Amino acid sequence: MKSLVMLLMLLVSISSLGRGLDYSLFQYPVEDAKQSAQSPYPTFVGYIFGDNKERRIPGLQEKHLDVIKQKYRIKVLNEFRLYEQSEMGIDEKILLERYCTRYNRQLVNLLGL
């Protein structure tokens, strides 16, 4: 009985860690942008923020934004927010903003836009 309870607690803790962002994926935006630029289908990144669930794509100028939306893919890094009703923490927003800005600026430079 004791081992069953421990197993259930372990499963609950693992599933709670599975939700949200994996912070280890946001350590190297410049290197990630270089890999994306070398791929056949370069992908820009953005995130969902606010109650209206609109995509935010930081680090891009208005003149680049229209071309990028038509020609390239845009990956939403926190798309679990579409299904979760809780508010985004300030630390999560800062992390996403910094990563997306550095990644997108680097990718624009590498693609020569």
Per-residue pLDDT tens for 12-27? Answer: 444 444 456 666 677 8
Write out the two tokens for 43. 């992908």
Helix axes 29-38, 90-111, angle to 10 degrees: 40
Flag whether 54 is in a domain.
yes
Label residue 2 exposed, middle or buried (CB < 10 Å: 0-12, 13-18, 19+). Answer: exposed
Query: In the predicted model, is pLDDT for residue 9 greater than 70?
Result: no
Which pTM was predicted?
0.73
Flag whether 13 is in a domain.
no
For 35-46, what is the mean pLDDT?
90
DSSP state of 59: T
Number of domains in the chain: 1
Q: In what order do the strands lie in the sheet with 54-56?
A: 54-56, 43-49, 73-76
- Domain limits for position 46: 25-111
Flag whether 68 is in a domain.
yes
Flag whether 10 is in a domain.
no
Flag whether 88 is in a domain.
yes
